[in-house]
Amino acid sequence: MRVVDAGETERALPFATLIPALREMFVGGCVAPPRHHHRIELAPEPDATLLLMPAWKPHDALGVKILNVFPGNNKKGLPGLYSLYCLFDAEHGTPIALLDGNVITARRTAAVSALAGSYLARSDAASLLVVGAGRIASLLPEAYREVRAIRRVTVWNPTPAAAQALVDRLRALDFDASVASDLEAAVRAADIVSSATLATRPLVLGEWLHPGIHLDLIGSFTPEMRETDDAAIRRASVFVDTETALAESGDLLQPLQSGAFVASRLAGTLSDLCTGRHPGRRDSQELTLFKASGTAMSDLAAAMVARTRLGLKPSVNPDA
């Protein structure tokens, strides 16, 4: 079994290859059972979460991601997410590789965001606001550049120094990037807003959203977490990566509980968009919202891309 480090995993997953592979996966599908959530109490620190995310395509590939989410790490200068991805051959169950799960999570998450944006953002969208400055947030401009002609990127973060560090990195990648000091003004000026935070209170308010904007929500994956408010959910055409988001993400679960949103109003899933069952954005004035809570289907698609690009093969001897 081969151990693939972070650098090699990243090089194996360019967005130009990963986004089409994800589209293919959301069309063809795979077996992806409900993920396991285990809460780890760390009082007085915020609770941590252990996630187990399996998926497989029979006779092809089988994988499971082990993901630790420790929100309190941000105050300690540590990443909030750590994970590993175990890839197996689905014909005989033999190990193939142990891949860097942090890289897979970050790159497939940004790629899923961009894939949804390819159907939901206006075709002339040129300005992107990134809310957050962490690992996933830092990849969003590169991913969106594969599906839209992004010319301007603005970054807002509660810690201005973190926003400036990301802006400096983006400028080195030839983006016209700047720091936003006023979140409301930045939202009102953007064509696309993509939020990737661990927020537990709304950051992007519905009253700020103008006709034609696309709001992309990444961060919330528990009932307590949310990045936008009920007003945004009421106003927008709402799409999700999978319907699991309705039961797991506070961005949707809380409005469902309050009556601000009903499941019958869900416009569609990413699979609906990729297969053409839903055409995507209807016109230039529609306000669209995409909520991804993360799915093992995306992890498996990314691992399969890495398998192909790195020439990974099953290990006959599990100890090898």
Q: At residue 198, does pLDDT exceed 60?
A: yes
Across the beta sheet with 36-40, the strand order is 2-4, 95-100, 81-89, 61-69, 48-57, 36-40
Pairing of strands 268-269, 214-217: unpaired
Closest Cα to residue 140, out of 214, 64, 84? 214
Which band of pLDDT confidence, cut at 50, 70 and 90, is reported for residue 319? low
Beta bridge partners of 51: 37, 67
Domain ranges, ordered by start, for the chain: 2-104+297-310, 119-295
- How far from 196 is each of 68, 103, 128, CA to CA, in Å? 17, 15, 13
Backbone angles phi, psi at 135, to 5 degrees: -60, -50
Q: Is 262 helix (H, G, I), strand (E, B) or coil?
A: coil
How far, in Å, CA of 72 to CA of 46, rounded? 6
Provide the whole-model pTM: 0.92
Q: 112 near 120, Cβ under 8 Å?
A: no
CB-based burial, 89-103: b 16+ in 10 Å, e otherwise: bbeeebbbbebbbbb
Q: At residue 70, does pLDDT exceed 80?
A: yes
Level-2 CATH architecture, domain 2-104+297-310? 2-Layer Sandwich (3.30)
Give percent of the chain above pLDDT 70. Answer: 98
Q: At residue 146, does pLDDT exceed 90?
A: yes
Which band of pLDDT confidence, cut at 50, 70 and 90, is reported for residue 317? low
Q: Is 93 helix (H, G, I), strand (E, B) or coil?
A: coil
CATH code 3.40.640.10 for 119-295: no
Q: How much is the average pLDDT of 155-161?
A: 96
Which band of pLDDT confidence, cut at 50, 70 and 90, is reported for residue 103? very high
Q: What is the dihedral of CA 99, 12, 299, 100, to 10 degrees?
A: 20
- Token pair 């996630």 in the structure block, residue: 51
Residue 95 belongs to what H/E stretch? strand 95-100
Pair of tokens at residue 114: 């961009």
Pairing of strands 152-156, 48-57: unpaired
pLDDT at 232 (0 to 100): 97
- End-to-end Cα spacing for the chain: 5
How far, in Å, CA of 42 to CA of 223, rounded? 18
Which band of pLDDT confidence, cut at 50, 70 and 90, is reported for residue 222? confident
Backbone angles phi, psi at 49, to 5 degrees: -135, 135
